[in-house]
Structure 1
Amino acid sequence: METITIQVKPEIAQAYQRVNPEKKARIETLLELLLQQELDNRSLAEVMDEIGYQAQARGLTPEILAEILADES
């Protein structure tokens, strides 16, 4: 693995810093899968399907995702 830096709004950075390690790992997985689309030249729909499958395999249910997104609001 390699570390990257991305520009986000200050409130997003602060929210990310506050979440627990489990949520951080899930967020990082989602970002990694989205960026993988660029390497694979797959459609967004294909990537979103893969994100869903991998997220579920790692225990990220729609309910947990909704909770993560609600925590960020």
Structure 2
Amino acid sequence: MQEIMIEVSPEIAEAYQSASPQERKKIQAIVSILLQKQVDQDVAFLRELMDEISDRARARGLTPEILESILNEP
């Protein structure tokens, strides 16, 4: 695990600081889930974008062999 800092209102900070260790773990789990969801959405978007680029390249005649030869040029 890695520690991060986020800005919250003074009331939220006070509530978190006065929470029990168990409550803090629950809060940390919820924040992790929310942030992981965003990461998952970003990865899915990137995959869709890469698929679209690949489809367009194929439609324009770029084959895997041509791409490989381009990438291997000095």
Global fold match (TM > 0.5): yes
Percent identical pairs in the alignment equals 40
Structure number with the bigger relative contact order (C-alpha 8 A, sep ≥ 6) is 1
For 1:1-73, list aligned pairs within 5 A.
1-41=1-41
In the alignment, structure 1 segments of 5+ residues that lack a partner are 43-73
Q: Which runs of 4+ in 1 moved over 4 A?
A: none
Deviation at 1:38, TM superposition (A): 1.3
Please give the per-residue CA displacement for 1:16-36, whole angstroms capped at 9, x wherever unaligned: 000100000000000000000
Deviations along 1:2-57, one digit per CA (max 9) or x if unpaired, are: 00000000010001000100000000000000000111018xxxxxxxxxxxxxxx
TM-score, normalised by the number of residues in structure 2: 0.54
Which of structures 1 and 2 has the bigger CA Rg?
Answer: 2
- Normalization by structure 1: what TM-score? 0.55
